[in-house]
Structure 1
Amino acid sequence: MLLTKLGPKNVFNSFKICLGTCPRHITSNIESSDTVELAYASYESTADSVGSSRPPLVILHGLLGSKNNWNSMSKAIHRTTGRKVISIDARNHGDSRHSSQHTYVHMAHDVMKLLKKLDLSKVSLLGHSMGGRTAMVLSLLCSDLVSSLIVVDISPVKTSPQIFSMANLFDAMSSVSIRPGIAMSKARKLADEQLKGITPDVNLRNFLITNLVQTNTGAYTWRVNIPALKDNFQTHISSFPSNLRGLQYCGPTLFVGGSLSDYIGKHDLREIQEYFPLADLVFIEGAGHWVHSQKPEKFLETVCKFLSEK
């Protein structure tokens, strides 16, 4: 297996919206200067395989995550299906560039730009949480580009009350103070101690701390753009764009929820199908919002079964 990690380059290729019926007001204010070059990791094999002729699978992570969170799962999906897998860092996350703008339409355009640069005319999309909404928006705006769609524990028709606790996490991360020059292991421990007052969930704290990085000067900082995420959270991140109502993606679609999560309701399918008429909805027992990390074997089985059939 070849693992390719590529960062942003100062190249822009314009990418026109594929869906001719897309309302002009949704996209007219997205210019080339508004898009961000995205970092990504590519998982592929040198040998020919059954899945190599199928469209690549593009994975979009959730809020405060990165492509690195999907490293093991990306490898497993590639091994199982033979498909090339491309895991992407969203703007303001991971190794991708920062921007003061953080809307789902902007993020969808970022992905379109990357796919254009990679000369990919058809892909399958898999997105978790924030990445799931980005994948939905891209599918609605540019349906010809999307072979199939997998949305993980997020909905276009409702928002979990839990999501609004994120504002407290932004403030807590901003207030973390670590003296420069100490070892990363000690810095992580100090960050964990300072975040305990906000969340007792050790798994959540560990997830947040994956964003802690050390600069060339020895100082510690967060690689996520917390000011931009905080400024855009209430208006643009916490809910699905209302101005996309009336658009549809009519390709194969699977919504995967965690049975212990309230991000997707068990009776939401009818409203989801107003956007995605062919959508199916399945729940993985015993999983919460982070379905792919809490029940990885069942998640892998569910995703690969869908990709093999669609």
Structure 2
Amino acid sequence: MIKTIFRHFKTTSILRDPVESKVLKATFDVNSIKDLPFNENIELAWKQLIPYKIKLRNTDTPVLFLHGLFGSKLSFNKIGRLFSELTRVPTYSLDLRNHGESPHVLPHTYSQMAHDVHNFIKERKWDQCVLVGHSMGAKVAMLISLLYPELISKLVVVDNTPHNEPLDDQFKNDLLGMCEVELNGAEYKKGENGKRVTEVKDINKFLSKYQKDPISRSLLMSNLIITQKDYRSVSIKDKKKEVFKVPVMNFWKHDIIDAMGAWPKLPSNIPKFENPVLIMYGIKSNFVKKDNFEIFKKYFTNLKFEEFDTGHWISVEKPKEFLNSLIMFISPPSSRNYEDPPKRKKVSKKMYRSKK
């Protein structure tokens, strides 16, 4: 299913720019939703994006990708592997809390996610890393660079800004549709053990009432619990009822969509981040406008802005341009010290003679 989704993404943005919309009415009582446990210290699920048969320069500063809302560590899987292959730089991606295979816990705030990622970096005993964050992950990455600047050598911000900007109501309708699916989760799990989603087409049809765009629905449905690995996750508590790898009911109860449009209140005297920062933004996206450029200057001194003829999901709509920009900013060819390639053995001409 993931491969099918990515085939769609070649021509269309995963997250279409929000359109005018009214929030539909929930059919459930939020007070009946059981709260998630509260945990400020968790281990995040992660993945090294290792290219095939390429010897990496493990002494180089690693690159760490942070996904957006409803994304996962697989969001940058292809781009990350290509980046690592072409630069030979060790490259990683994370499942932020309440996403992918990471624990489902409260609180789900930018400050808490920054704390999680900080702990991940320290546990790896990295002196520094390069952060690449998209959307929700972009705000997390910016916050880490301001709170823990000594750990970040370079920062790439993909289509988001360091200020309060409410998300469009369409995002709430997306989440509400997922909640309504999960409310009747057992109806969509008709396999032998009733633990994995089998009625994918029915879910797609139901979600179309809340999200008309099939590509945006594909992003939501990429969170379905379909494989054995999905339902065996320790984060999935009610294996007969839960449908998504994201705790959608709790997201609705605690107004997570509003929280993801916010920006934490920081001390007025917080030092500016002085290392290089690349701001990538789509000119068809509503997340970063040229009027917002001054906001970045409040927190960052060494800024570079790069626009793309895309919507919100730059890496999918313009993957080649996105990858090239990453390489030239993070690890341009002029900065690399390649080892001399091994000398090839001379091949006898006899090897090319056809047998008579």
Shorter-chain TM-score category?
A: 0.7 to 0.9
Distance 1:257 1:146 in 2: 21
Task: Check 1:195–1:292 CA distance in 2 against 1; reply closer, same or farther (3 A cut).
Answer: same
Partner of 1:37: 43
Larger strand proportion of the pair: 1
Partner of 1:303: 326
Normalising by structure 2, report the TM-score. 0.72
Secondary structure of the structure 2 residue equivalent to 1:86 = strand
Partner of 1:226: 248
Task: Check 1:92–1:202 CA distance in 2 against 1; reply closer, same or farther (3 A cut).
Answer: same
**Map of 1:19-58 to 2, 5 A cutoff?**
33-44=39-50, 48-49=55-56, 51-58=57-64
Higher relative contact order (CA 8 A, sep 6+): 2
Q: Could you tell me which amino acid in structure 2 is paired with residue 189 of structure 1?
A: K
Contact 2:128 2:152 in 1 (8 A): yes
Deviation at 1:59, TM superposition (A): 0.4
Contact 1:181 1:218 in 2 (8 A): no
Residue segments in structure 1 that go unaligned for 5+ positions in a row: 1-31
Secondary structure of the structure 2 residue equivalent to 1:268 = helix
Deviation at 1:44, TM superposition (A): 3.9
- Per-residue CA deviation, residues 182-214 of structure 1 (Å, 9 max, x unaligned), is 497852211110110111111110111010104
Q: Could you tell me which amino acid in structure 2 is paired with residue 77 of structure 1?
A: F
Distance 1:253 1:222 in 2: 34
- Per-residue CA deviation, residues 88-147 of structure 1 (Å, 9 max, x unaligned), is 000000000011201111001101111121111200000000000000111100000001
Task: Check 1:193–1:141 CA distance in 2 against 1; reply closer, same or farther (3 A cut).
Answer: same
Secondary structure of the structure 1 residue equivalent to 2:225 = strand
Secondary structure of the structure 2 residue equivalent to 1:69 = coil
Deviation at 1:242, TM superposition (A): 2.6
Deviation at 1:243, TM superposition (A): 2.6
Partner of 1:269: 293
Deviation at 1:47, TM superposition (A): 5.7
Runs of 4+ in 1 over 3 A off after TM superposition: 44-49, 182-186, 214-220
Q: Could you tell me which amino acid in structure 2 is paired with residue 171 of structure 1?
A: L
Q: Could you tell me which amino acid in structure 2 is paired with residue 141 of structure 1?
A: L
Secondary structure of the structure 1 residue equivalent to 2:49 = strand
Kindly tell me the number of residue pairs found equivalent between the two proteins.
276
1:165 to 170, 173, 177: 170
CA RMSD of aligned residues (A): 2.3
Contact 2:167 2:257 in 1 (8 A): no
Larger helix proportion of the pair: 1
Normalising by structure 1, report the TM-score. 0.82
1:209 to 221, 226, 232: 221
- Per-residue CA deviation, residues 147-196 of structure 1 (Å, 9 max, x unaligned), is 1000100011352653x422211111010143322497852211110110
Task: Check 1:207–1:268 CA distance in 2 against 1; reply closer, same or farther (3 A cut).
Answer: same
